Amino acid sequence: MSDSQDIFAAGGVDAPEQPAPGAAQPYRVLARKYRPSKFSELIGQDAMVQTLANAIKRDRLAHAFLMTGVRGVGKTSTARLIAKALNCIGEDGQGGPTIDPCGQCEPCRSIAEGSFIDVIEMDAASHTGVDDVREIIEAVRYSSVSARYKIYIIDEVHMLSKNAFNALLKTLEEPPPHVKFIFATTEVNKVPITVLSRCQRFDLKRISAEQLSAHFGMIVEKEGVTAEQEALDLIAQAAEGSVRDGLSILDQAIAHADMDGDGQVKAVQIRDMLGLSDRSAVRRLFAKLLEGDSAALLDAISEQYKIGVEPLSLMNGLLSLSHQVTLFKVGRASDPTLSDSAKQQFADWSEQLSYPVLHRLWQLLLKGYQEVQQAHLPREACEMALLRVLCAGDMPDPGKLAKMLEQNGSVTASTATMQEAAPPPPQAAPVAQTTPLAPAPAPTETPEPQAGALPNDFSEVVKAVGRVSAVLESILIADMRLISLDAPNVIYQPVRAIGDSDIRKITEALRQETGRDWKFTEGQGEAQPSLVEREQQIRDAERQAILDAPLVKAAFEAFPDAVLLEDEDSRPQESRSA
Protein backbone atom coordinates (compact mmCIF):
# COMPACT_ATOMS: atom_id res chain seq x y z
CA MET A 1 0.00 0.00 0.00
CA SER A 2 1.33 3.42 -0.90
CA ASP A 3 1.91 6.24 1.52
CA SER A 4 -1.14 8.13 0.23
CA GLN A 5 -3.38 5.13 0.87
CA ASP A 6 -1.93 4.77 4.38
CA ILE A 7 -2.90 8.33 5.13
CA PHE A 8 -6.52 7.69 4.05
CA ALA A 9 -6.61 4.40 6.00
CA ALA A 10 -5.33 6.06 9.16
CA GLY A 11 -8.15 8.55 8.99
CA GLY A 12 -10.76 5.89 8.43
CA VAL A 13 -11.54 7.17 4.91
CA ASP A 14 -11.59 5.10 1.74
CA ALA A 15 -8.97 6.11 -0.75
CA PRO A 16 -10.38 7.56 -4.02
CA GLU A 17 -10.21 5.39 -7.07
CA GLN A 18 -7.19 6.04 -9.24
CA PRO A 19 -7.90 6.86 -12.91
CA ALA A 20 -7.28 3.87 -15.09
CA PRO A 21 -4.15 4.13 -17.16
CA GLY A 22 -4.81 5.18 -20.73
CA ALA A 23 -8.32 6.47 -19.93
CA ALA A 24 -10.38 7.49 -22.97
CA GLN A 25 -9.91 11.02 -24.21
CA PRO A 26 -12.90 13.36 -24.50
CA TYR A 27 -14.87 12.63 -27.65
CA ARG A 28 -14.07 14.78 -30.65
CA VAL A 29 -16.70 15.27 -33.30
CA LEU A 30 -15.94 13.90 -36.75
CA ALA A 31 -15.58 17.36 -38.27
CA ARG A 32 -12.59 18.02 -35.97
CA LYS A 33 -11.24 14.51 -35.84
CA TYR A 34 -10.95 14.21 -39.61
CA ARG A 35 -9.83 17.73 -40.39
CA PRO A 36 -7.24 17.50 -43.22
CA SER A 37 -3.69 17.33 -41.91
CA LYS A 38 -2.06 17.52 -45.34
CA PHE A 39 -3.01 18.72 -48.78
CA SER A 40 -3.56 15.21 -50.11
CA GLU A 41 -6.48 14.86 -47.66
CA LEU A 42 -8.12 18.05 -48.90
CA ILE A 43 -10.87 16.86 -51.26
CA GLY A 44 -12.33 18.74 -54.18
CA GLN A 45 -9.75 21.57 -54.36
CA ASP A 46 -7.19 20.14 -56.80
CA ALA A 47 -6.69 23.37 -58.75
CA MET A 48 -5.78 25.34 -55.64
CA VAL A 49 -3.40 22.64 -54.38
CA GLN A 50 -1.65 22.51 -57.77
CA THR A 51 -1.25 26.30 -57.81
CA LEU A 52 0.24 26.36 -54.32
CA ALA A 53 2.56 23.44 -55.11
CA ASN A 54 3.92 25.21 -58.19
CA ALA A 55 4.34 28.47 -56.28
CA ILE A 56 6.35 26.72 -53.56
CA LYS A 57 8.53 24.86 -56.05
CA ARG A 58 9.30 28.03 -57.98
CA ASP A 59 9.69 30.18 -54.86
CA ARG A 60 6.90 32.51 -56.03
CA LEU A 61 4.94 32.73 -52.80
CA ALA A 62 2.50 35.60 -52.43
CA HIS A 63 2.54 37.67 -49.27
CA ALA A 64 -1.25 37.47 -48.80
CA PHE A 65 -3.82 34.79 -49.62
CA LEU A 66 -7.62 35.03 -49.60
CA MET A 67 -9.71 31.86 -49.24
CA THR A 68 -13.37 32.22 -50.13
CA GLY A 69 -16.22 29.77 -50.47
CA VAL A 70 -19.32 28.47 -48.75
CA ARG A 71 -19.23 27.07 -45.24
CA GLY A 72 -17.38 23.83 -44.60
CA VAL A 73 -15.33 23.53 -47.79
CA GLY A 74 -11.97 23.87 -46.06
CA LYS A 75 -11.02 27.57 -45.88
CA THR A 76 -9.58 27.56 -42.36
CA SER A 77 -8.11 24.07 -42.83
CA THR A 78 -6.39 25.27 -46.00
CA ALA A 79 -5.02 28.31 -44.16
CA ARG A 80 -3.46 26.05 -41.52
CA LEU A 81 -2.07 23.72 -44.17
CA ILE A 82 -0.43 26.70 -45.90
CA ALA A 83 1.06 27.72 -42.54
CA LYS A 84 2.42 24.19 -42.16
CA ALA A 85 3.75 24.09 -45.70
CA LEU A 86 5.62 27.39 -45.30
CA ASN A 87 7.10 26.62 -41.86
CA CYS A 88 7.82 22.88 -42.11
CA ILE A 89 11.48 22.07 -41.40
CA GLY A 90 11.26 18.30 -41.99
CA GLU A 91 11.95 15.48 -39.59
CA ASP A 92 15.68 16.20 -39.79
CA GLY A 93 15.18 19.92 -39.15
CA GLN A 94 16.78 20.91 -42.48
CA GLY A 95 13.75 21.03 -44.78
CA GLY A 96 12.27 24.06 -46.53
CA PRO A 97 8.78 25.08 -47.68
CA THR A 98 6.97 22.08 -49.14
CA ILE A 99 3.50 21.24 -50.41
CA ASP A 100 3.74 17.99 -48.43
CA PRO A 101 4.60 18.97 -44.81
CA CYS A 102 5.96 16.15 -42.70
CA GLY A 103 3.56 16.57 -39.78
CA GLN A 104 6.29 15.42 -37.40
CA CYS A 105 8.48 18.45 -36.84
CA GLU A 106 7.82 20.95 -34.07
CA PRO A 107 6.21 23.62 -36.28
CA CYS A 108 3.87 21.07 -37.92
CA ARG A 109 2.76 19.56 -34.61
CA SER A 110 2.33 22.93 -32.89
CA ILE A 111 0.34 24.40 -35.78
CA ALA A 112 -1.93 21.35 -35.79
CA GLU A 113 -2.51 21.80 -32.04
CA GLY A 114 -3.05 25.54 -32.43
CA SER A 115 -0.23 26.45 -30.07
CA PHE A 116 2.48 27.69 -32.44
CA ILE A 117 3.55 31.15 -31.37
CA ASP A 118 4.36 32.39 -34.87
CA VAL A 119 0.98 31.43 -36.39
CA ILE A 120 -1.61 33.84 -35.06
CA GLU A 121 -5.29 33.09 -35.70
CA MET A 122 -7.77 35.89 -35.26
CA ASP A 123 -11.55 35.83 -35.54
CA ALA A 124 -12.54 39.05 -37.30
CA ALA A 125 -16.13 38.62 -36.13
CA SER A 126 -15.06 39.44 -32.56
CA HIS A 127 -12.10 41.70 -33.46
CA THR A 128 -13.59 44.18 -35.87
CA GLY A 129 -12.06 47.50 -34.89
CA VAL A 130 -9.03 49.60 -35.74
CA ASP A 131 -7.40 48.82 -32.39
CA ASP A 132 -7.30 45.10 -33.21
CA VAL A 133 -5.68 45.79 -36.58
CA ARG A 134 -3.27 48.25 -34.97
CA GLU A 135 -1.95 45.43 -32.76
CA ILE A 136 -1.20 43.41 -35.91
CA ILE A 137 0.51 46.38 -37.57
CA GLU A 138 2.76 46.91 -34.55
CA ALA A 139 3.57 43.19 -34.20
CA VAL A 140 4.59 42.60 -37.83
CA ARG A 141 7.69 44.74 -37.35
CA TYR A 142 9.20 42.05 -35.16
CA SER A 143 10.58 38.91 -36.75
CA SER A 144 9.21 35.46 -35.99
CA VAL A 145 10.33 33.76 -32.79
CA SER A 146 11.22 30.31 -34.07
CA ALA A 147 9.59 29.86 -37.47
CA ARG A 148 10.52 30.75 -41.01
CA TYR A 149 7.43 32.96 -41.42
CA LYS A 150 5.13 34.77 -39.04
CA ILE A 151 1.65 34.00 -40.37
CA TYR A 152 -1.60 35.81 -39.55
CA ILE A 153 -4.79 33.86 -40.23
CA ILE A 154 -7.84 36.12 -40.09
CA ASP A 155 -11.12 34.21 -40.29
CA GLU A 156 -14.35 35.87 -41.50
CA VAL A 157 -12.31 38.84 -42.63
CA HIS A 158 -15.35 40.53 -44.17
CA MET A 159 -16.49 41.39 -40.62
CA LEU A 160 -13.71 43.97 -40.20
CA SER A 161 -14.92 47.54 -40.17
CA LYS A 162 -14.18 49.93 -43.02
CA ASN A 163 -11.66 51.82 -40.91
CA ALA A 164 -9.95 48.57 -39.90
CA PHE A 165 -9.58 47.58 -43.57
CA ASN A 166 -8.13 50.98 -44.41
CA ALA A 167 -5.66 50.76 -41.54
CA LEU A 168 -4.47 47.37 -42.81
CA LEU A 169 -3.98 48.39 -46.44
CA LYS A 170 -0.42 49.73 -46.28
CA THR A 171 0.89 46.81 -44.25
CA LEU A 172 -0.95 44.36 -46.46
CA GLU A 173 0.57 45.82 -49.62
CA GLU A 174 4.18 45.90 -48.37
CA PRO A 175 4.57 43.56 -45.40
CA PRO A 176 8.01 42.58 -44.08
CA PRO A 177 9.52 39.54 -45.84
CA HIS A 178 8.95 37.30 -42.83
CA VAL A 179 5.17 37.97 -42.66
CA LYS A 180 2.35 36.25 -44.53
CA PHE A 181 -1.37 37.01 -44.33
CA ILE A 182 -4.08 34.42 -44.94
CA PHE A 183 -7.70 35.61 -44.99
CA ALA A 184 -10.83 33.44 -45.02
CA THR A 185 -14.36 34.59 -45.75
CA THR A 186 -17.74 33.28 -46.81
CA GLU A 187 -18.86 36.67 -48.17
CA VAL A 188 -16.13 37.91 -50.45
CA ASN A 189 -18.41 40.57 -51.91
CA LYS A 190 -18.16 42.44 -48.59
CA VAL A 191 -14.37 42.63 -48.75
CA PRO A 192 -13.18 45.98 -50.22
CA ILE A 193 -11.69 45.77 -53.69
CA THR A 194 -8.56 47.49 -52.34
CA VAL A 195 -7.97 44.43 -50.14
CA LEU A 196 -8.85 41.91 -52.86
CA SER A 197 -6.34 43.48 -55.24
CA ARG A 198 -3.54 42.93 -52.70
CA CYS A 199 -4.25 39.21 -52.19
CA GLN A 200 -3.88 36.03 -54.18
CA ARG A 201 -7.44 34.76 -54.26
CA PHE A 202 -8.56 31.13 -54.17
CA ASP A 203 -12.24 30.27 -54.64
CA LEU A 204 -12.85 26.95 -52.90
CA LYS A 205 -15.56 24.98 -54.66
CA ARG A 206 -18.46 23.04 -53.22
CA ILE A 207 -17.62 19.37 -52.90
CA SER A 208 -19.63 17.14 -55.23
CA ALA A 209 -22.08 14.66 -53.74
CA GLU A 210 -20.08 11.76 -55.23
CA GLN A 211 -16.87 12.89 -53.52
CA LEU A 212 -18.65 13.49 -50.23
CA SER A 213 -20.29 10.07 -50.33
CA ALA A 214 -16.93 8.36 -50.95
CA HIS A 215 -15.31 10.45 -48.19
CA PHE A 216 -18.04 9.51 -45.69
CA GLY A 217 -17.70 5.86 -46.64
CA MET A 218 -14.00 6.00 -45.76
CA ILE A 219 -14.76 7.67 -42.42
CA VAL A 220 -17.43 5.17 -41.31
CA GLU A 221 -14.97 2.39 -42.12
CA LYS A 222 -12.35 4.01 -39.89
CA GLU A 223 -14.96 4.45 -37.17
CA GLY A 224 -15.85 0.76 -37.34
CA VAL A 225 -19.40 1.47 -38.44
CA THR A 226 -21.32 0.03 -41.38
CA ALA A 227 -23.57 2.17 -43.51
CA GLU A 228 -25.85 1.67 -46.48
CA GLN A 229 -24.62 3.37 -49.62
CA GLU A 230 -28.01 5.06 -50.06
CA ALA A 231 -27.69 6.49 -46.55
CA LEU A 232 -24.30 7.98 -47.38
CA ASP A 233 -25.73 9.39 -50.62
CA LEU A 234 -28.58 11.04 -48.72
CA ILE A 235 -26.15 12.61 -46.25
CA ALA A 236 -23.97 13.86 -49.10
CA GLN A 237 -26.98 15.45 -50.80
CA ALA A 238 -28.17 17.05 -47.55
CA ALA A 239 -24.69 18.50 -46.96
CA GLU A 240 -25.04 20.69 -50.10
CA GLY A 241 -21.32 20.63 -50.85
CA SER A 242 -20.11 21.27 -47.28
CA VAL A 243 -17.82 18.67 -45.73
CA ARG A 244 -18.40 20.00 -42.22
CA ASP A 245 -22.18 19.93 -42.57
CA GLY A 246 -22.02 16.40 -43.92
CA LEU A 247 -19.77 15.17 -41.10
CA SER A 248 -22.07 16.73 -38.53
CA ILE A 249 -25.03 14.85 -40.05
CA LEU A 250 -22.96 11.66 -40.22
CA ASP A 251 -22.00 12.06 -36.55
CA GLN A 252 -25.67 12.32 -35.65
CA ALA A 253 -26.56 9.39 -37.91
CA ILE A 254 -23.98 7.11 -36.28
CA ALA A 255 -25.35 7.98 -32.84
CA HIS A 256 -28.86 7.30 -34.10
CA ALA A 257 -27.77 3.96 -35.56
CA ASP A 258 -26.17 2.87 -32.26
CA MET A 259 -29.53 3.33 -30.54
CA ASP A 260 -30.99 0.61 -32.76
CA GLY A 261 -28.42 -1.90 -31.61
CA ASP A 262 -27.05 -3.10 -34.96
CA GLY A 263 -24.75 -0.11 -35.48
CA GLN A 264 -25.62 0.28 -39.16
CA VAL A 265 -26.48 3.65 -40.66
CA LYS A 266 -29.58 3.09 -42.77
CA ALA A 267 -31.28 5.26 -45.35
CA VAL A 268 -34.64 5.07 -43.62
CA GLN A 269 -33.05 6.43 -40.43
CA ILE A 270 -31.52 9.32 -42.33
CA ARG A 271 -34.89 10.20 -43.83
CA ASP A 272 -36.54 10.09 -40.42
CA MET A 273 -33.75 12.11 -38.85
CA LEU A 274 -33.66 14.83 -41.49
CA GLY A 275 -37.33 14.79 -42.49
CA LEU A 276 -36.43 13.88 -46.06
CA SER A 277 -38.89 12.39 -48.47
CA ASP A 278 -38.26 8.90 -49.82
CA ARG A 279 -37.08 9.23 -53.42
CA SER A 280 -39.20 6.29 -54.51
CA ALA A 281 -42.21 7.83 -52.75
CA VAL A 282 -41.62 11.10 -54.60
CA ARG A 283 -41.50 9.19 -57.89
CA ARG A 284 -44.82 7.53 -57.04
CA LEU A 285 -46.30 10.93 -56.23
CA PHE A 286 -44.96 12.30 -59.51
CA ALA A 287 -46.63 9.41 -61.32
CA LYS A 288 -49.97 10.26 -59.65
CA LEU A 289 -49.60 13.83 -60.91
CA LEU A 290 -49.11 12.61 -64.47
CA GLU A 291 -51.99 10.13 -64.22
CA GLY A 292 -54.38 12.84 -62.99
CA ASP A 293 -55.63 10.73 -60.06
CA SER A 294 -56.60 13.37 -57.49
CA ALA A 295 -57.74 10.93 -54.77
CA ALA A 296 -54.52 8.90 -54.98
CA LEU A 297 -52.53 12.13 -55.04
CA LEU A 298 -54.07 13.39 -51.78
CA ASP A 299 -53.57 9.95 -50.16
CA ALA A 300 -49.89 9.99 -51.12
CA ILE A 301 -49.42 13.48 -49.66
CA SER A 302 -51.16 12.40 -46.45
CA GLU A 303 -48.98 9.30 -46.19
CA GLN A 304 -45.80 11.32 -46.54
CA TYR A 305 -47.01 13.87 -43.99
CA LYS A 306 -47.80 11.15 -41.44
CA ILE A 307 -44.28 9.71 -41.56
CA GLY A 308 -42.81 13.15 -40.90
CA VAL A 309 -41.97 14.48 -44.37
CA GLU A 310 -42.29 18.25 -44.43
CA PRO A 311 -44.49 19.65 -47.25
CA LEU A 312 -41.67 21.94 -48.33
CA SER A 313 -39.33 18.96 -48.60
CA LEU A 314 -41.96 17.17 -50.68
CA MET A 315 -42.25 20.11 -53.10
CA ASN A 316 -38.46 20.31 -53.28
CA GLY A 317 -38.30 16.62 -54.15
CA LEU A 318 -40.85 17.05 -56.95
CA LEU A 319 -38.93 20.02 -58.33
CA SER A 320 -35.74 18.00 -58.33
CA LEU A 321 -37.56 15.13 -60.03
CA SER A 322 -38.94 17.43 -62.74
CA HIS A 323 -35.42 18.73 -63.36
CA GLN A 324 -34.00 15.22 -63.59
CA VAL A 325 -36.64 14.15 -66.11
CA THR A 326 -35.79 17.19 -68.23
CA LEU A 327 -32.09 16.28 -68.07
CA PHE A 328 -32.95 12.78 -69.23
CA LYS A 329 -34.86 14.24 -72.15
CA VAL A 330 -31.86 16.30 -73.31
CA GLY A 331 -29.49 13.39 -72.71
CA ARG A 332 -27.64 14.94 -69.77
CA ALA A 333 -28.60 12.63 -66.90
CA SER A 334 -25.73 12.68 -64.39
CA ASP A 335 -26.96 11.27 -61.04
CA PRO A 336 -24.96 8.11 -60.31
CA THR A 337 -27.01 7.38 -57.19
CA LEU A 338 -30.11 6.44 -59.19
CA SER A 339 -31.09 2.80 -59.36
CA ASP A 340 -31.61 1.05 -62.69
CA SER A 341 -35.38 1.01 -62.19
CA ALA A 342 -35.41 4.74 -61.46
CA LYS A 343 -33.34 5.45 -64.57
CA GLN A 344 -35.75 3.42 -66.68
CA GLN A 345 -38.71 5.28 -65.19
CA PHE A 346 -37.08 8.63 -65.94
CA ALA A 347 -36.36 7.54 -69.49
CA ASP A 348 -40.03 6.56 -69.98
CA TRP A 349 -41.26 9.90 -68.60
CA SER A 350 -38.83 11.83 -70.77
CA GLU A 351 -40.28 10.13 -73.86
CA GLN A 352 -43.87 10.76 -72.82
CA LEU A 353 -43.54 14.41 -71.79
CA SER A 354 -42.84 17.17 -74.29
CA TYR A 355 -40.64 20.18 -73.56
CA PRO A 356 -43.63 22.57 -73.18
CA VAL A 357 -45.26 20.21 -70.66
CA LEU A 358 -42.04 19.86 -68.67
CA HIS A 359 -41.56 23.62 -68.69
CA ARG A 360 -45.13 24.20 -67.51
CA LEU A 361 -44.73 21.51 -64.84
CA TRP A 362 -41.56 23.17 -63.54
CA GLN A 363 -43.21 26.61 -63.40
CA LEU A 364 -46.26 25.31 -61.53
CA LEU A 365 -44.16 23.36 -59.02
CA LEU A 366 -41.88 26.34 -58.47
CA LYS A 367 -44.89 28.56 -57.82
CA GLY A 368 -46.25 25.94 -55.43
CA TYR A 369 -42.93 25.74 -53.59
CA GLN A 370 -42.99 29.49 -52.99
CA GLU A 371 -46.57 29.31 -51.73
CA VAL A 372 -45.80 26.44 -49.32
CA GLN A 373 -42.72 28.31 -48.10
CA GLN A 374 -44.81 31.34 -47.14
CA ALA A 375 -48.03 29.61 -46.06
CA HIS A 376 -49.30 29.40 -42.49
CA LEU A 377 -50.79 26.01 -43.38
CA PRO A 378 -48.00 24.27 -45.32
CA ARG A 379 -49.78 20.94 -45.81
CA GLU A 380 -52.94 22.55 -47.17
CA ALA A 381 -50.87 24.83 -49.41
CA CYS A 382 -48.99 21.79 -50.71
CA GLU A 383 -52.22 19.95 -51.51
CA MET A 384 -53.72 22.95 -53.31
CA ALA A 385 -50.54 23.54 -55.29
CA LEU A 386 -50.35 19.92 -56.47
CA LEU A 387 -54.05 19.81 -57.30
CA ARG A 388 -53.48 22.89 -59.44
CA VAL A 389 -50.68 21.05 -61.23
CA LEU A 390 -53.01 18.09 -61.75
CA CYS A 391 -55.78 20.29 -63.20
CA ALA A 392 -53.32 22.07 -65.47
CA GLY A 393 -52.35 18.71 -66.91
CA ASP A 394 -55.82 18.46 -68.51
CA MET A 395 -55.32 21.72 -70.41
CA PRO A 396 -54.03 21.31 -73.97
CA ASP A 397 -51.09 23.39 -75.09
CA PRO A 398 -51.76 26.02 -77.79
CA GLY A 399 -50.34 23.83 -80.55
CA LYS A 400 -52.62 20.92 -79.76
CA LEU A 401 -55.59 23.26 -79.40
CA ALA A 402 -55.00 24.67 -82.89
CA LYS A 403 -54.76 21.15 -84.33
CA MET A 404 -57.96 20.10 -82.59
CA LEU A 405 -59.84 23.06 -84.01
CA GLU A 406 -58.39 22.48 -87.45
CA GLN A 407 -59.39 18.82 -87.43
CA ASN A 408 -62.95 19.77 -86.55
CA GLY A 409 -63.09 22.29 -89.37
CA SER A 410 -63.38 25.14 -86.90
CA VAL A 411 -60.40 27.10 -88.09
CA THR A 412 -61.85 27.86 -91.53
CA ALA A 413 -65.27 28.75 -90.17
CA SER A 414 -63.80 30.83 -87.36
CA THR A 415 -61.49 32.66 -89.73
CA ALA A 416 -64.37 33.49 -92.02
CA THR A 417 -66.45 34.67 -89.09
CA MET A 418 -63.60 36.86 -87.85
CA GLN A 419 -63.19 38.39 -91.30
CA GLU A 420 -66.90 39.21 -91.44
CA ALA A 421 -67.33 40.35 -87.86
CA ALA A 422 -64.02 42.00 -87.10
CA PRO A 423 -61.49 44.23 -88.80
CA PRO A 424 -57.83 43.21 -88.98
CA PRO A 425 -55.81 42.92 -85.71
CA PRO A 426 -54.62 46.12 -84.06
CA GLN A 427 -51.20 46.06 -85.66
CA ALA A 428 -52.74 46.00 -89.14
CA ALA A 429 -55.75 48.21 -88.40
CA PRO A 430 -56.17 51.45 -90.35
CA VAL A 431 -56.23 53.32 -87.04
CA ALA A 432 -52.68 52.26 -86.32
CA GLN A 433 -51.48 53.41 -89.72
CA THR A 434 -52.97 56.89 -89.53
CA THR A 435 -51.46 59.57 -87.41
CA PRO A 436 -52.99 59.79 -83.93
CA LEU A 437 -53.78 63.45 -84.69
CA ALA A 438 -56.25 62.45 -87.38
CA PRO A 439 -59.93 61.58 -86.77
CA ALA A 440 -61.46 58.19 -87.40
CA PRO A 441 -60.27 56.72 -90.70
CA ALA A 442 -62.56 57.32 -93.65
CA PRO A 443 -62.84 55.20 -96.78
CA THR A 444 -61.17 57.93 -98.80
CA GLU A 445 -58.75 60.67 -97.95
CA THR A 446 -60.35 64.07 -97.45
CA PRO A 447 -58.81 66.49 -99.98
CA GLU A 448 -56.90 69.47 -98.69
CA PRO A 449 -58.98 72.70 -98.75
CA GLN A 450 -58.19 75.13 -101.53
CA ALA A 451 -56.40 78.35 -100.69
CA GLY A 452 -58.87 80.89 -99.35
CA ALA A 453 -61.63 78.27 -98.86
CA LEU A 454 -62.96 77.60 -95.38
CA PRO A 455 -62.78 74.05 -93.97
CA ASN A 456 -66.20 72.41 -93.91
CA ASP A 457 -65.21 69.49 -91.66
CA PHE A 458 -63.71 69.52 -88.15
CA SER A 459 -60.88 67.22 -89.25
CA GLU A 460 -59.87 69.85 -91.80
CA VAL A 461 -59.89 72.47 -89.05
CA VAL A 462 -57.56 70.24 -86.99
CA LYS A 463 -55.18 69.76 -89.93
CA ALA A 464 -55.10 73.50 -90.60
CA VAL A 465 -54.18 74.25 -86.99
CA GLY A 466 -51.64 71.39 -87.01
CA ARG A 467 -49.73 73.03 -89.86
CA VAL A 468 -49.07 75.95 -87.49
CA SER A 469 -48.68 74.29 -84.07
CA ALA A 470 -48.70 70.65 -82.96
CA VAL A 471 -49.54 71.72 -79.39
CA LEU A 472 -52.68 73.56 -80.48
CA GLU A 473 -53.59 70.62 -82.69
CA SER A 474 -53.42 68.25 -79.69
CA ILE A 475 -55.87 70.52 -77.81
CA LEU A 476 -58.41 70.21 -80.61
CA ILE A 477 -57.91 66.44 -80.78
CA ALA A 478 -58.10 65.58 -77.08
CA ASP A 479 -59.96 68.41 -75.34
CA MET A 480 -62.71 69.55 -77.71
CA ARG A 481 -66.05 67.87 -78.46
CA LEU A 482 -67.76 69.43 -81.47
CA ILE A 483 -71.40 70.58 -81.16
CA SER A 484 -71.65 72.39 -84.52
CA LEU A 485 -69.40 73.78 -87.25
CA ASP A 486 -70.52 76.62 -89.52
CA ALA A 487 -67.23 78.06 -90.74
CA PRO A 488 -65.84 80.28 -89.42
CA ASN A 489 -67.98 79.69 -86.30
CA VAL A 490 -67.34 76.67 -84.05
CA ILE A 491 -69.47 75.70 -81.05
CA TYR A 492 -67.82 73.13 -78.82
CA GLN A 493 -67.97 71.40 -75.45
CA PRO A 494 -64.65 71.03 -73.58
CA VAL A 495 -63.46 67.67 -72.30
CA ARG A 496 -61.42 69.64 -69.79
CA ALA A 497 -60.99 73.38 -69.34
CA ILE A 498 -59.34 75.17 -72.28
CA GLY A 499 -57.71 78.50 -71.49
CA ASP A 500 -58.74 81.71 -73.26
CA SER A 501 -55.16 82.22 -74.40
CA ASP A 502 -55.22 78.83 -76.15
CA ILE A 503 -58.47 79.70 -77.92
CA ARG A 504 -56.93 82.97 -79.13
CA LYS A 505 -53.88 81.10 -80.43
CA ILE A 506 -56.12 78.59 -82.26
CA THR A 507 -58.15 81.33 -83.93
CA GLU A 508 -54.95 83.16 -84.90
CA ALA A 509 -53.58 79.97 -86.44
CA LEU A 510 -56.78 79.51 -88.47
CA ARG A 511 -56.67 83.16 -89.58
CA GLN A 512 -53.13 82.57 -90.89
CA GLU A 513 -54.26 79.48 -92.79
CA THR A 514 -57.63 80.69 -94.15
CA GLY A 515 -57.39 84.49 -94.11
CA ARG A 516 -60.63 84.72 -92.10
CA ASP A 517 -61.36 85.48 -88.45
CA TRP A 518 -62.67 82.44 -86.61
CA LYS A 519 -64.86 82.31 -83.52
CA PHE A 520 -64.86 79.42 -81.00
CA THR A 521 -67.79 79.43 -78.56
CA GLU A 522 -68.34 77.06 -75.63
CA GLY A 523 -71.93 75.81 -75.76
CA GLN A 524 -74.41 73.29 -74.36
CA GLY A 525 -76.21 70.42 -76.00
CA GLU A 526 -75.42 67.10 -77.62
CA ALA A 527 -71.77 66.96 -78.67
CA GLN A 528 -69.77 64.51 -80.74
CA PRO A 529 -66.95 62.55 -79.07
CA SER A 530 -63.52 64.11 -79.25
CA LEU A 531 -61.21 62.71 -81.90
CA VAL A 532 -59.26 60.74 -79.26
CA GLU A 533 -62.49 59.35 -77.81
CA ARG A 534 -63.73 58.42 -81.28
CA GLU A 535 -60.51 56.56 -82.04
CA GLN A 536 -60.71 54.69 -78.75
CA GLN A 537 -64.29 53.64 -79.50
CA ILE A 538 -63.16 52.18 -82.81
CA ARG A 539 -60.32 50.30 -81.10
CA ASP A 540 -62.68 48.94 -78.43
CA ALA A 541 -65.04 47.72 -81.13
CA GLU A 542 -62.19 46.01 -82.95
CA ARG A 543 -61.02 44.34 -79.74
CA GLN A 544 -64.52 43.12 -78.89
CA ALA A 545 -64.94 41.73 -82.39
CA ILE A 546 -61.74 39.72 -81.94
CA LEU A 547 -62.87 38.45 -78.52
CA ASP A 548 -66.22 37.39 -79.99
CA ALA A 549 -64.57 35.31 -82.72
CA PRO A 550 -65.13 31.54 -82.15
CA LEU A 551 -61.43 30.67 -82.40
CA VAL A 552 -60.50 33.22 -79.74
CA LYS A 553 -63.39 32.13 -77.52
CA ALA A 554 -62.19 28.53 -77.73
CA ALA A 555 -58.67 29.60 -76.77
CA PHE A 556 -59.95 31.51 -73.71
CA GLU A 557 -62.06 28.55 -72.64
CA ALA A 558 -59.01 26.29 -72.78
CA PHE A 559 -56.80 28.91 -71.06
CA PRO A 560 -58.99 30.90 -68.61
CA ASP A 561 -56.06 33.01 -67.40
CA ALA A 562 -54.99 34.04 -70.90
CA VAL A 563 -54.83 37.76 -71.75
CA LEU A 564 -55.25 39.41 -75.14
CA LEU A 565 -52.23 41.65 -75.50
CA GLU A 566 -52.18 44.84 -77.52
CA ASP A 567 -49.34 45.77 -79.82
CA GLU A 568 -47.48 48.69 -78.29
CA ASP A 569 -47.02 50.36 -81.67
CA SER A 570 -50.74 50.25 -82.40
CA ARG A 571 -51.78 52.26 -79.35
CA PRO A 572 -52.76 55.91 -79.86
CA GLN A 573 -49.96 58.38 -79.36
CA GLU A 574 -51.86 60.14 -76.60
CA SER A 575 -52.12 56.96 -74.48
CA ARG A 576 -48.48 56.03 -75.13
CA SER A 577 -47.20 59.40 -74.07
CA ALA A 578 -49.46 59.42 -71.02
Q: Tell me, what CATH number does 260's domain have?
A: 1.10.8.60
Tell me, yes or no, whether 17 lies in a domain: no
Among residues 154, 172, 203, the one where a domain terminates is 203
Q: What value does the mean pLDDT of the chain take? A: 79
Give yes or no: residues 383 and 323 share one domain: yes
Q: 345: helix, coil or strand? A: helix
Q: Are 432 and 570 in contact (CB under 8 A)?
A: yes
Distance CA 577, CA 561 (A): 29
Give yes or no: residues 308 and 375 share one domain: yes
Q: Which of 364, 399, 406 is nearest to 385 (CA)?
A: 364
Distance CA 317, CA 311 (A): 10
Report the domain count for the chain.
4
Q: Where are the beta strands (DSSP E) in 267-321?
A: none
Among residues 232, 255, 274, the one where a domain terminates is 274
Q: 343: helix, coil or strand? A: helix
H-assigned helices in 393-452: 398-407, 410-421, 430-433
β-pairing, 119-123 vs 200-203, is unpaired
Which DSSP state fits 569? G
User: pTM of the predicted model, to two decimals?
Assistant: 0.54
Q: 489: helix, coil or strand? A: strand
pLDDT tens digits, one per residue of 163-172? 999 999 999 9
Tell me, yes or no, whether 24 lies in a domain: no
Give yes or no: residues 214 and 182 share one domain: no
Distance CA 527, CA 533 (A): 12
Distance CA 438, CA 51 (A): 72
Percent of the chain at pLDDT above 90?
12
pLDDT tens digits, one per residue of 223-264? 888 888 888 888 888 888 889 988 998 888 888 776 555 668
Which residues, including other chains, have CB under 8 Å from residue 396's CB and lie 6 or more apart? Answer: 404, 558
The radius of gyration of the chain from alpha carbons, rounded to an integer in Å, stands at 40
| Phi, psi at 419, each rounded to 5° | -70, -30
Give yes or no: residues 181 and 34 share one domain: yes
Give yes or no: residues 488 and 538 share one domain: yes
* Cα–Cα–Cα angle for 485, 487, 489, rounded to 5 degrees: 70
| Phi, psi at 155, each rounded to 5° | -85, 150
Segment among 355-369, 387-401, 483-497 with least mean pLDDT:
387-401
β-pairing, 64-68 vs 200-203, is parallel
pLDDT tens digits, one per residue of 556-565? 877 777 777 7
Give yes or no: residues 225 and 307 share one domain: no
Range of the domain at 64: 30-203
Q: What is the mean pLDDT of residues 160-185?
A: 91
